[in-house]
């Protein structure tokens, strides 16, 4: 009796062909697989704070502060504290 090939847990995502073309074009520009482009896009959208892929936290905070000089230091700290409380619950 022949052995069956091991099944992998693959699944297919179906969506609009024009979106598929855009994803494939973006993947070609970046030199990556379309799946990687989709994963990165989903990761960006589902992670509103973007802190998980930060290598140098001090440089990240400095860049954030330079982005928005109109926001006071107190408001910035309050935003961080609110984020910490939302992540702890």
Q: What is the mean pLDDT of each run of 10 residues along the chain (89 residues)?
A: 64 78 90 88 73 72 78 84 77
Joined tokens for residue 75: 């408001």
Q: How far is CA 53 from CA 19, 37, 40, 43, 85, in A?
A: 26, 16, 11, 10, 20
**Is residue 5 included in any domain, yes or no?**
no
What pLDDT was estimated at residue 80? 86
What pLDDT was estimated at residue 67? 78
> What range does the domain containing 63 cover?
54-89
For residues 42 and 60, membership in a common domain is answered with no
Q: How far is CA 75 from CA 80, 82, 89, in A?
A: 9, 10, 22
What pLDDT was estimated at residue 88? 63
Tell me how far the alpha carbon of residue 26 is from its chain's centroid: 16
**Is residue 10 included in any domain, yes or no?**
no
Domain count, the chain: 2
For residues 59 and 36, membership in a common domain is answered with no
What pLDDT was estimated at residue 28? 93
């Amino acid at each position: 009796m022949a052995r069956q090939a091991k099944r992998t847990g693959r699944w297919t995502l179906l969506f609009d062909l024009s979106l598929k073309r855009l994803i494939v074009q973006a993947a070609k520009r970046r030199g990556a697989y379309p799946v990687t482009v989709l994963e990165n896009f989903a990761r960006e959208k589902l992670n509103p704070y973007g802190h998980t892929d930060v290598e140098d936290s001090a440089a990240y905070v400095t860049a954030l502060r330079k982005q928005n000089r109109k926001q006071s230091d107190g408001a910035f700290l309050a935003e961080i504290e609110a984020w910490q409380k939302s992540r702890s619950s």
